[in-house]
Structure 1
Amino acid sequence: MKIAVLDDYQNVVKSLDCFKLLEGHEVQVFNETYTDVDTLAEQLVDFEALVLIRERTVICQALLAKLPKLKLISQTGKVSNHIDLSSVMTMGWLLQRASARPSRLRS
């Protein structure tokens, strides 16, 4: 699966224990936030899954309509007001929210 991890400002995701779970998948980590829908869509068009760091990127219907390969959105926090939930459900995609337990850094 081709997975995009968005908004990893501190470039820390790859050092978390949980990142090992993504072995065997093609993962790209984005350290910047793109606010323009067209620019964001260009970056994400080929991805099947998005991993969102908190509520940093707005996932709106206009963006979702431009991501034909998307199957799954994973949210690291419990807040999801930045995600157009009705569009996600209408399009039949999965939305997964992480547990409250933090992952540890690998040494």
Structure 2
Amino acid sequence: MIKKRDIILALVLILLGIVCYGVIRLGQKKGSQVIIYEDQKEIGRYDLNTDTTKEIQTAKGMNILEIKNGMAYVTEADCPDQVCIRMGKISKTGENIVCLPHKLVIQVEGDVGQKAEYDNR
């Protein structure tokens, strides 16, 4: 049987989760570049302020990265699950897009001299 204390505890935990999520999202800064890693090795670095489309060819397959209006996102991929496409647009430091079948990570970082507030790897 659900007690009043159980409901209060559940509501407090939900509220705490929402507050933590908000603090994390508000603390993120707008990134200046995306770095592309294949199997943990950097294979590319692109400015987020320059609109471009890049074909990323890896040993495991191909992804199309679109950078537009300060945001990066994958528009095409030949991987079977297409999770990298559904991850959406990224623009803040620490955000990333991952394509596991291709061992590909696309990560947003700040300026070269800017120190990260947390370890995002």
- TM-score computed with the length of structure 2 as normaliser: 0.23
Larger strand percent: 2
Q: Which has the higher contact order (CA 8 A, sep 6+)?
A: 1
